Chain A
Amino acid sequence: MSRTDIGPPDFREMLPPVIKENYGKWKYHEIVKPGVLKHVSESGAELYSVRVGSPRLVSIDFIREICDLADEFCDGYLRFTSRHNVEFLVSKKENVEPLLDALKEKGLPVGGTGNSLSNMIHTQGWIHCHTPATDASGIVKAVMDDLYEHFVNMDLPAKLRISLACCLNMCGAVHCSDIAILGIHRTPPRIDHERLPKVCEIPTVIASCPTAAIKPDPKRKSVKVNEERCMYCGNCYTMCPAMEIIDAENDGIAILVGGKVSNARTAPAFSRLAIPYLPNNPPRWPEVTEAVRNIVEVWAANAKKGERVGEWIQRIGWENFFKLTGIPFTDKHIDDFIFSVPTFRTTTNFKW
């Protein structure tokens, strides 16, 4: 009989000796070059971290390969970042260059530090999710290929955090990213009246709707949907599989911009709608990669040193954001959900 509730391994067993000796005593760090951090302790000890991009969806062969590298160059220690990068923890300075050579040979990109694009956090998409409006890994691969130079170089005005969620459930923090790529549905749920009473609790389905668009349909022992009120969030489908919302013809992608989570300079902020809809075009989603590149390039060309996307937009104004990027402003950009009022302009101060 296996033991339950043992919890995760104690992180203290996973730390290299240089960390154990200097735990809580790190004094400062430098970015030696893109992807290579050097932390210096009050004792004078040094630790190098080599940050490497990963596709997140990896085979055990990949894990074994990075273990081989960690055994060879890091005495068997490594970690992962909150954005799915691998970080090799190198205690011996002389091992840094050989590790970089070995990574180059394997085609693994080193970068993601300082003023660069970090790895994209993302969700499961078509690989493993049951409610997705788009894929995740495929778009991430296409966007990271396209913006690769900004991962391996620190040539941007500030950090750039791009994230993807394959539906509005948003597993992960995409709603507070410099650029958020979000899978959306655009049509109301299709009700399977035969199946619904057998597999769903009707009060729960009704309660699941944020706009009260779902009402009981006692005749059919089912529900009906006021389609004019439906905002296609898919929450009813999550609660009830007989409310099919996936629609291959109409599902697609929205792009939101200007969010952040860090408290540095400005308060954490939500990303806001830039592009309401782009089509799903696998395998490389050209409309999405082009739209993202456009926003990145306009920001990089116009922002001051150190300005995140949202800080740049706050300075120039949303009017100018739409003008500079050439993205059309439409009625879709004006909020009509529950917290809309504070987003309406209540001053004569604006820009042309």
Chain B
Amino acid sequence: MKEHKTPLLDELEKGPWPSFVKEMKRAAEKNESAKDLLGQLELSYQDKKGHWKHGGIVGVRGYGGGVIGRYSDCPEQFPNVAEFHTIRVNQPSGWYYNTKALRKICDIWEKRGSGLTNFHGSTGDIILLGTKTDELQPTFDELSDAGFDLGGSGSDLRTPSTCAGPARCEYACFDNLDLCHDLTMTYQDEIHRPMWPYKFKIKISGCPNDCVASIARADLSIIGTWRDSLRIDQEEVKKYAASGMDIKGEVCEPCPTKALEFDEDAGELRLKAEDCVRCMHCINRMPKALRPGVERGATILIGGKATILQSAFLSWVIVPFMKMEPPYQELKDLLERIWEWWDENGKTRERIGELIYRKGMGNFLRAVGLPAVPQMVYQPRANPYIFWQPDEVKKK
């Protein structure tokens, strides 16, 4: 086995941030594929281009997704990455682990793959980076015995992911960890067998801080919120003031709707609850004194995606407030109506946001049976080009 010289990559072992090149070299000490991966990456650094071939479908029995096929475009030079497929492994909600579970994955991957991983990939899965075609089924079988399953890839429901949630965060407005697990278990078929126009992502955040960026990258964004007034502990407000915090400047002034006023004489924070838009700023600043209200649920938004194809969209509000309690039937019914409409009307590789943009939000809302409410828009339309429905006008 040839040792590859890697002068360019060696530069990336320097510096204070942990080095992925060191990680690759650790894996290369024990694994021939990892060794050739280093060599091929060094070649990419010389050539300023990737050296992976386009495409290649591989998988495991019974599944259509979960494995990304990858082949080197220079297999003569790097025979041990001629096949170098990735396996997506569905992570537990909120990325919580015990070491026993993680060690099982390490043992399987030591035997079956390159020994290199991503913790985690962008969609949230554990990424097992690089193995041969013959190893795919045995890897899956062993993962399954260890209690792990594959995530989504291709035109299917991608692995849902969610933030730290009520396990570790006082901001969580519902049990987002449970919801993520419940949706993942309910829609196993949709995750593992691609049958849609394109991918569909569900990301769930427990509060409007949106730590999993659901509004930017999820076709369906579920963001925790509350409907009543936020709660203020005036004793704790006094303590923040006594500690020297500039409550007026740091908390009240940045409030987007100027719903908060600080009475310096009384040491009290006053809230105009009807003006509050529940943005989290004041709570983030004074977590001991302020908390979300008690009537909690989530805002449901749709259509978020990155640029390709029809520009990037942030998700749009379609349900301003929904209670989030098991078995989450209202949400599941809505999801299934959305998927049905998208499946019937979507073109190949058309995300739900693009379909809504092409067909019009009005058509979408009517099709899935959601009432139009002012919370859905920043402002009403400026043009008078209105699509009237047949039952709204008299026929000649």
Binding site for B on A (CB under 8 A): 2-11, 13-15, 19, 23-24, 26-30, 39, 47, 49, 53-64, 67, 70-71, 76-82, 84, 86, 89, 107-109, 121, 123, 125-132, 135, 137-138, 141-142, 144-145, 148, 151, 165, 168-176, 204, 207-208, 210, 233-235, 237-239, 241, 246, 248, 251, 259, 261-266, 268-270, 280, 282-284, 305-306, 337-339
* Pairwise interchain contact A24-B175, C-beta atoms closer than 8 A: yes
A212 to chain B, nearest CB (A): 12
Q: Which residues of B contact A81 (CB under 8 A)?
A: 95, 164, 211
| Contact status A59-B27, CB under 8 Å | yes
Q: Given the known A-B contacts A24-B166, A141-B20, A145-B15, are A11 and B47 also in contact in the complex, defined by CB atoms under 8 Å?
A: no
Q: How far is the CA of A237 from the CA of B279 in the complex (A)?
A: 41
When the two chains form their complex, are residues A55 and B20 in contact, meaning their CB atoms are under 8 A apart?
Answer: yes
Asked whether, in the complex, the Cβ of B314 is within 8 Å of the Cβ of A7, the reply is no
Among candidates B118, B147, B167, B177, residue contacting A56 with C-beta atoms closer than 8 Å: B118
The stretch that binds A, out of B51-59, B326-334, B360-368, B388-396, is B51-59
Does B267 interact with chain A (Cβ within 8 Å)? no
**B192 (CB) vs chain A CBs: closest residue:** A5
Q: Which of A6, A8, A57, A168 contacts B23 (CB 8 A)?
A: A57
Q: How far is the CB of A99 from chain B (nearest CB, A)?
A: 14
**CB neighbours of A108 from chain B (8 A):** 18
CB neighbours of B359 from chain A (8 A) = none
Q: Secondary structure of the A side of the interface? A: loop
For B24, list chain A residues within 8 Å (CB): 57, 59
B interface residues (Cβ-Cβ under 8 A, vs A): 8-9, 11-12, 14-21, 23-24, 26-27, 34, 37, 41, 44-45, 47-55, 61-63, 68, 70, 84, 86, 90-103, 105-106, 109-110, 115-123, 129-130, 140-141, 144-145, 147-149, 161, 163-164, 166-170, 172, 175, 177, 181, 184-185, 188-189, 192, 208-217, 223, 250, 254-256, 279-281, 284-285, 287-288, 291, 306-312, 314, 347-349
The residues of A that contact B91 with a CB separation of less than 8 Å are: 8
9 contacts between A and B (CB under 8 A): A10-B92, A80-B119, A107-B18, A130-B53, A169-B308, A171-B306, A173-B217, A208-B349, A282-B48
| Contact call B149/A6, Cβ cutoff below 8 A | yes
CA distance A148 to B15 in the complex (A): 9
A7, B186: Cα distance in complex, Å: 9
A246 vs chain B, min Cβ distance (A): 5
B147 touches A126 (CB 8 A): no
The minimal Cβ–Cβ distance linking A272 to chain B, given in whole angstroms, is 11
Residue of B99, B177, B309 touching A208 (CB-CB under 8 A): B309
CB distance from A47 to the nearest CB of B (A): 7
Q: Is there contact, CB below 8 Å, between A126 and B41?
A: yes
- Which of B103, B209, B281 is close to A64, meaning CB atoms less than 8 Å apart? B103
Pairwise interchain contact B210-A130, C-beta atoms closer than 8 A: no
B383 CB → nearest A CB, Å: 13
Distance in Å: Cβ of B203 to nearest Cβ of chain A: 9
B50 pairs with A265, CB closer than 8 A: no
Give 6 nearest A-B pairs by CB, closest first. Answer: A145-B15, A241-B54, A170-B306, A172-B122, A263-B208, A173-B213
Beyond A130-B70, A176-B213, A265-B279, 14 additional pairs, beta carbon < 8 A = A2-B144, A8-B184, A63-B102, A67-B102, A78-B99, A82-B163, A89-B168, A126-B49, A128-B86, A210-B309, A261-B213, A263-B209, A282-B8, A284-B12
Complex Cα–Cα for A151 and B17 (A):
10
Min CB gap A231→B, angstroms:
10
**A227 to B184 Cα, complex, angstroms:** 44
A172 to B304, CA, bound (A): 12
State whether B168 touches A251 (Cβ < 8 A).
Answer: no
Bound complex: CA A32 to CA B109 (Å): 37
A77 with B250: in contact, given A5-B188, A14-B92, A175-B312 (CB under 8 Å)? no
| A5-B280 contact in complex given A11-B167, A170-B307, A175-B312, C-beta closer than 8 Å | no
Contacts of A169 in B (CB 8 A): 306, 308
Contacts of B34 in A (CB 8 A): 59
Cα A4 to Cα B191 with chains together (Å): 12
Residues of chain A within 8 A (CB-CB) of B44 are 126, 135
A235 CA / B184 CA spacing, docked (Å): 29
Chain B residues with CB below 8 A from A144, complex form: 17
Collect the chain B residues with CB atoms within 8 Å of residue A170's CB: 306-308, 312
A45 to chain B, nearest CB (A): 12
Question: Among B45, B96, B255, which residue has its beta carbon within 8 angstroms of that of A283?
Answer: B45
Could you tell me the distance between the alpha carbons of A297 and B182 in the complex, rounded to whole angstroms?
44
Report whether A8 and B90 are in contact in the complex, using a CB–CB cutoff of 8 Å.
yes
CB-CB < 8 A to B55: which residues of A?
130, 241
Q: Which residues of A contact B177 (CB under 8 A)?
A: 11
Q: How far is the CA of A64 from the CA of B65 in the complex (A)?
A: 28
Q: Which residues of A contact B149 (CB under 8 A)?
A: 4-8
CB distance from B116 to the nearest CB of A (A): 6
Contact (Cβ within 8 A) A261 B144 = no
Q: Is the beta-carbon distance between B208 and A67 smaller than 8 angstroms?
A: no
Of B17, B250, B310, the contact of A109 (CB 8 Å cutoff): B17
Q: When the two chains form their complex, are residues A24 and B122 in contact, meaning their CB atoms are under 8 A apart?
A: no
Known: A128-B70, A237-B54, A262-B210. A2 touches B140 (CB 8 A): yes
Is the CB–CB distance between A141 and B17 below 8 Å? Answer: yes
Instruction: Let me know if B27 and A306 touch, CB within 8 A.
Output: no
Return the contact of B12 from the options A14, A30, A138, A251 (Cβ within 8 A): A138
* Minimum distance in angstroms from B120 CB to a CB of chain A: 6
Which residue of B52, B98, B119, B172 contacts A58 across the interface (Cβ within 8 Å)? B119
Please state if B215 and A268 are interface contacts (CB–CB under 8 Å). Answer: yes
User: With the chains together, A312 CA to B354 CA distance in Å?
Assistant: 31
The distance in angstroms between the C-alpha atoms of A138 and B168, with both chains bound, is 32
Residues of A within 8 A of B68 (CB): 128
- Measured between beta carbons, the chain B residues less than 8 angstroms from A29 are 169-170, 287
Question: Taking the nearest CB of chain A, how far is it from the CB of B115, in angstroms?
Answer: 5
- Partner of A338 from the list B16, B167, B311 (CB cut-off 8 Å) is B311
Distance A57 CA – B26 CA, assembled complex (angstroms): 12
In the complex, the answer to whether B169 meets A26 with C-beta atoms within 8 Å is yes
Taking CB atoms, residues of chain B closer than 8 Å to A23 are 166-167
Task: Determine if A262 and B54 form an interchain contact, defined as CB atoms under 8 angstroms apart.
Answer: no
Query: With a CB–CB cut-off of 8 A, which chain A residues contact B209?
Result: 262-264
Contact across chains for A233 and B307 when beta carbons are under 8 A apart: yes
Which residue of chain A has its CB nearest to the CB of B104? A9
Question: With A and B bound together, what is the CA distance between A54 and B96 in angstroms?
Answer: 16
Nearest CB in chain A to that of B143: its residue: A2
